[in-house]
Amino acid sequence: MRRWQEHLPSLQRRLALPQTSLQLCLLGMLGGLIAALLIILFRLAIIGLQGFFLENTDDFSSIDAEFRWLLPLGGAACIGVIALFTGYRHYRLGIPFVIHRIKTAYGVMPFRNTLNQFFGGILALASGFSVGREGPSVHLGAYGASSVGRYLKLPYNSIRILAGCGIAAGISASFNTPLAAMIFVMEVVLREYRIHVFIPVMLASVVGALATQLVFGHDRELAALDIINLSVWHFPYLILCGIIFGAVAWLFNRHLMLMLRTFKKWPLLLRLALAGAVTAAVGYFIPHAMGAETGAIQFAINNPTEIHLLLVIFIGKFILTLFAIGLGVPGGIIGPIFGIGVVLGTILAIVPAIIVDNSSNAGTYAVLGMAGMMAATLHAPLAALVAVMELAANQHIILPAMLVIVTAYVTTVQFFNNKSIFLMQLDFMQLPYKLSPADDVLQKVGVLAVMSQDYQLLDNPTEQQVCEQLDNIQPPCQLLIKRNEHDAVQFYTAQYDVSLSLSGDSAVHYLPVKGLSQQCTMAEVLAELEDKREGIVYIYQDHPGQPMGIIRWDQLRALLIKQNNLI
């Protein structure tokens, strides 16, 4: 144990640099494993609960209607009790909240929010609410992996990368889609492509996929779909389908935000009760619309020609998802979007089926519907393409999927001015998620990478000792003065001020110096020194009264000029 602690400072300094390292890759894999174990436990809990009343997981049509409507009501009550126990102020959950924490808190997730997400997500999915498991997976993955960094007191820039590793492992463990999980993290959550981030996230995603395959096998949710290669004459119709997917995505996002605004002032328990009542009423008549996405997808696979029933399921799924997500039921939005897209794509397949008197294209159109809806709703076209490739496990889907995704995305952005639903939710909740160019650069560099030992420390010196030290010190060496004031330790830097000496006062001018933890990044240094554009901060390890180095304004300025010429 002692030898491990001896190597920790060198590990912390290494990870303060924004560069690829073996240490970060290994920690990313460890964080990914912890995240995957949390997701596996989460999924097993859902399966275990549903096993008491469902014949097949997520198939709510297998139970009597007289009992089915009680499930969401009971689930809403239990979720409310958990929220009451953990505190309502800790009820910010899901992917938008994780994006906010990634940008503003380096991916460190609050414990009580995570408890809400874990137990609330289990109850929501087990009781038939139309929410996805990827929302809790992202939250739990970020918490599990970032906990490794917090335990080791790593620099926050590396904890942020570990959080991304946990998210990738969580999604990979949830859907068995390692490549799509990695792309989703880079495209939607981190919103950047840097090689020193990309490599550990990739490894964590692999770990998540291997872990879930060991427990749940290699089956993929869309593997049962019969996907065939579409001939060229389908492509003009695919463009029309893409336009429809883009329009439906805009309608979905618009009405979800309307739900959020309409019920914003309602108490949480009342909102959960309404969500339970609506789910109970709709689920009583349309059981395939309940749950994450499996029920709707399975019906579309088994009954591709039942257009009237598919329309009913599509409308029911649309409504249940709006009420569940809009009223604050803990869960994700991607799963229901998959279900809506698959059903809508199967419905649109009826046109070519009528022309050729053959419904064999229904499976292909179902997958394309999922891709188009995901790209247009989440503004994640690359993640959507990769997701359908992995879930369908069929290369014939690539070319038509690219056409549908591009058409749906351009339609929803240009003609409907539709934004990503995650960013719309963040704006509504007034959670910041944007960084200035300078902060974006500086958050990637830990203070240990820039910290200097070029300083002299005086402990409670007299005025004469300060003057003697100032006479002997040579720039860029700094004089750091430690004083005990009012039972607290304060640090100052000192310099001569001619104007003070002319007025008869002491010729030495003292400036307070702020201390920052060794886990901080250069963004926190900028926040302290930006207004004056001069001075220093000191860095401490465990106790603020024990400095281990300093960072000067000119060092910060040089870093900004070197990185992006931002100052």
The per-residue pLDDT for 83 is 85
The per-residue pLDDT for 90 is 60
Question: How confident is the model over 308-335, as a mean pLDDT?
Answer: 94
Task: Identify whether the C-beta of residue 145 lies closer than 8 Å to the C-beta of residue 169.
Answer: yes
Question: How confident is the model over 538-558, as a mean pLDDT?
Answer: 90
Q: Whole-structure pTM over 0.85, yes or no?
A: yes
Task: Identify whether the C-beta of residue 198 lies closer than 8 Å to the C-beta of residue 20.
Answer: no
The per-residue pLDDT for 549 is 92
Residue 539: band (very low, low, confident or very high) from pLDDT cuts 50, 70, 90: very high
The per-residue pLDDT for 381 is 94
Question: How confident is the model over 249-269, as a mean pLDDT?
Answer: 94
Distance between CA 333 and CA 188 in Å, rounded? Answer: 14
Would you call 405 exposed, middle or buried from its count of C-beta atoms within 10 A (0-12, 13-18, 19+)?
A: buried
Coil, helix or strand for 536?
strand
Would you call 355 exposed, middle or buried from its count of C-beta atoms within 10 A (0-12, 13-18, 19+)?
A: exposed
Distances (CA, A) of 382 to 10, 180, 209, 225, 401: 38, 8, 19, 22, 11
CA atoms within 13 A on the CB side of 251: 12
Task: Say yes or no to pLDDT of 2 above 70.
Answer: no
Q: What is the pLDDT of residues 400-412, one digit of tens each?
A: 999 999 999 999 9
Task: Say yes or no to pLDDT of 360 above 50.
Answer: yes
The per-residue pLDDT for 542 is 82
Distance between CA 84 and CA 21 in Å, rounded? Answer: 43
Bridge partners of residue 98, in order along the sequence = none
Which residues make Cβ contacts (< 8 Å) with residue 353, sequence separation at least 6?
305, 359, 361, 362
Least confident of 128-142, 249-263, 492-506, 511-525: 492-506
The per-residue pLDDT for 519 is 94
The per-residue pLDDT for 532 is 84
The per-residue pLDDT for 505 is 54
Phi then psi for 130, rounded to 5 degrees? -85, 75
The per-residue pLDDT for 220 is 65
Residue predicted with more confidence, 380 or 567: 380
C-alpha dihedral, 82 to 146 to 383 to 439, nearest 10°: 110
Residue predicted with more confidence, 143 or 479: 143
Task: Say yes or no to pLDDT of 504 above 80.
Answer: no
Residue entry with tokens 């304060």: 490
Bridge partners of residue 479, in order along the sequence = 456
Q: With pLDDT > 70 as the criterion, what percentage of the chain qualifies?
A: 94
Q: What is the pLDDT of residues 57-102, one digit of tens each?
A: 888 888 888 889 999 999 999 999 988 887 766 667 789 999 999 9
Closest Cα partner for 71 from 313, 279, 315? 279
Strands (DSSP E) found in 13-164:
none
Would you call 562 exposed, middle or buried from its count of C-beta atoms within 10 A (0-12, 13-18, 19+)?
A: exposed
Task: Say yes or no to pLDDT of 567 above 70.
Answer: no
Residue 222: band (very low, low, confident or very high) from pLDDT cuts 50, 70, 90: low
Task: Identify whether the C-beta of residue 347 lies closer than 8 Å to the C-beta of residue 314.
Answer: yes
Phi then psi for 452, rounded to 5 degrees? -115, 145
Residue ranges and CATH numbers for the domains of the chain are 2-221 (1.10.3080.10), 232-429 (1.10.3080.10), 446-564 (3.10.580.10)
C-alpha dihedral, 179 to 17 to 94 to 105, nearest 10°: -170
Residue 221: band (very low, low, confident or very high) from pLDDT cuts 50, 70, 90: low
Residue predicted with more confidence, 326 or 487: 326
Distance between CA 240 and CA 349 in Å, rounded? Answer: 12
The per-residue pLDDT for 194 is 86
Kindly report whether the peptide bond that precedes residue 110 is cis, defined as omega within 30 degrees of 0: no
Highest mean pLDDT among 74-78, 132-136, 493-497: 74-78
Chain-wide mean pLDDT for the chain?
A: 89
Q: Which amino acid is at 560?
A: L
Task: Say yes or no to pLDDT of 466 above 90.
Answer: no
